[in-house]
Amino acid sequence: MKESEFNIILIDDNEIDTSVNEKLIKLANLTGNVRTFNSSTQALAFLRENHDQLLPFINVVLLDILMPEMNGFACLKKMASMDEPLKERMCVYMLSSSIDRLDIMKADAEPMVRRVLEKPLDVYLLKKILVELKQEFSQSGKI
Amino acid sequence: MDDEENNLISFQATFRRDYNVWVTQSPQEAAEFIRLNDVHIVIADQKMPEVSGVEFLEMIRYEFQDPIRILLTGYADIEAVIDAINRGQVFRYIQKPWNEGELKVLFDSAYQLYFANKDLRLKNAELARAYSELEKFVYSASHDIKAPIATIQGLVKLAVQESDLAGMRECIDRIDISANKLSFFTNHLLGFYQTLRKPLDYVPVDFSEMWHQTLETARLHENFQFVRMTKEIQQNNTFFCDAEHLKAALMSLVVNSLKYINKSNPESYLAMRILSNESVAIIELEDNVLGLGNSQEQILEMVEGRDWVGSSAAIMVFMIKKIADKLNGQMQFNHPTNGGMTIKLTIPNHK
């Protein structure tokens, strides 16, 4: 897999979780572009400021649900106001340490969310997801 | 209720010394009376022109569950009576001509049944509420337990792949932090529930001493080092309260703030103010924590149990409210979306 096709953006208020996931992703040789943020606000600012740089990539966002200040669902609401071309290239996976029925229902209602993943992050599952995304995007001619 | 006035008059004359008897010939009037008064027993004559006794008792049954329904019949209409009893529309039937002594026995047992039923219904409602509360509590507590476990699981995955000793050591240190966090939380949770089950025992409380003890425990919290604690305690009188419940309330207040403290803000503070007088103690904790990720309204909805989405933020507030309720006190909660929180408890002096 070419490194340049994916950005993996981790958003989680728990610093240990983001750094562990970053290391696990790198150890599994998934991609070179991992960005971590410990708050929704930081992540949204990054997305705003780097719109043009992000646009050619498939942007996989791993978004924690329970966070102070702005929780995962509130963060999604802000992300919904991004422009369409970038939104089409944003694939959001919500992270939760306990898979809750209500969270899944709420996540299903969000067009940008692909799936809810249980913590700790399973990098082999992520690897599989990336392969499928790559297929999907190349079939539709987006990469 | 009977359409024959003479029957009503003789019935009332016989029983008015022992019971409050109210009579009517009209089903509408009867229903209206039951609606407005605390009626224990309803007796209806089977043979009436507008509706039969069974029909009337069946009608009122849907609106008023509590009164015990008795059918009065002189009619050889035994089929209808049996049917009514079997379908649960009627508790008993009285055959005319009635016997005063038998009826008194019957009324006494109906009266007892009335209170037993009512008590059971109240207990059931209480139980249902307690059960749904517990369900929500378990759900949100298990999330707070699961989060550090997931972190530990991630760290273990990383540790087994780590080739150098320093990297592995770092993983183990972080496992230690997460395990301590989990241990602190479960201890707090367990202590809280054990306290809440205990009966209240009012003793004189020394707030300065209690605050000192609270801080001793809070020191073990991972975020304690990031915050400046201040206290202002004014107590010029003897304050009586259950010490364990009060301590659990103080602890929950502090833990709630510590959970959301902004570690990167060097100005993070927790300010405890306790003002105790003859009638009440006002315990107020103010802080400048991050927003909880849910609005004040959402959190109060969760605390009241109407909505429990994104529950983790509400669990401590819920616990504090629970203790305040048990101590006959009140909780006021103020949390602007952009952060900072004030929780104020007003606890009566149980002298």
A47-69: per-residue pLDDT in tens? Answer: 999 999 999 999 999 999 988 88
Whether residue B70 is found in the same domain as residue B135: no
Query: Hey, what are B292's tokens?
Result: 């909880």
Distance CA(B314)–CA(B291), nearest Å, equals 12
Residue percentage of chain B with pLDDT more than 90:
58
Nearest to B178 among A16, A24, A70 (CB): A16
Output the average pLDDT for chain B. Answer: 89
Whether residue B161 is found in the same domain as residue B202: no
Q: Is the peptide bond before A56 cis (omega within 30 degrees of 0)?
A: no
Whether residue B169 is found in the same domain as residue B231: no
Q: Which of B197, B218, B247 is the last residue of a domain?
A: B197
Distance CA(B10)–CA(A136), nearest Å, equals 89
pLDDT for residue A39 is more than 90: yes
Average pLDDT value for residue range B168-183: 93
Whether residue B315 is found in the same domain as residue B213: yes
* Mean pLDDT comparison of B8-12, B159-163, B344-348, highest-scoring range: B344-348
CATH of the domain at B191: 1.10.287.130
Any domain includes B107:
no
Range of the domain at B78: 5-98
CATH of the domain at B11: 3.40.50.2300
Output the average pLDDT for chain A. Answer: 90
- Mutation for testing the B interface, residue in A14, A66, A73, A122 having most B CBs under 10 Å: A66
As a whole number of Å, the end-to-end CA separation of chain A is: 13
Position B332 scores a pLDDT of: 94
**B-chain residues near A97 (CB < 8 A):** 143, 146-147, 149-150
CATH of the domain at B308: 3.30.565.10
pLDDT digits (tens, 9 = 90+) for B305-325: 655 554 566 788 888 999 999
Any domain includes B115:
no
Distance CA(A136)–CA(A134), nearest Å, equals 5
Q: Please report which confidence band the pLDDT of residue B229 belongs to, taking 50, 70 and 90 as the band edges.
A: very high
Could you give the ipTM of this predicted complex? 0.90
Give the type of residue at B232.
E
Average pLDDT value for residue range A28-41: 88
Distance CA(B308)–CA(B292), nearest Å, equals 14
Contact with chain A for residue B212, Cβ under 8 A: no
Instruction: Name the A residues in 78-137 with CB < 8 Å from any B CB.
Output: 97-98, 100, 102-103, 106, 118-121
Which strands form B41-45's sheet, in the order they lie side by side? B41-45, B68-73, B92-95
pLDDT for residue B295 is more than 90: no
pTM: 0.76
Query: Into how many domains does chain B fold?
Result: 3
CA torsion, ordered A100, A105, A108, A109, to nearest 10 deg: -140
pLDDT digits (tens, 9 = 90+) for A92-109: 999 988 777 778 888 889
Whether residue B136 is found in the same domain as residue B238: no
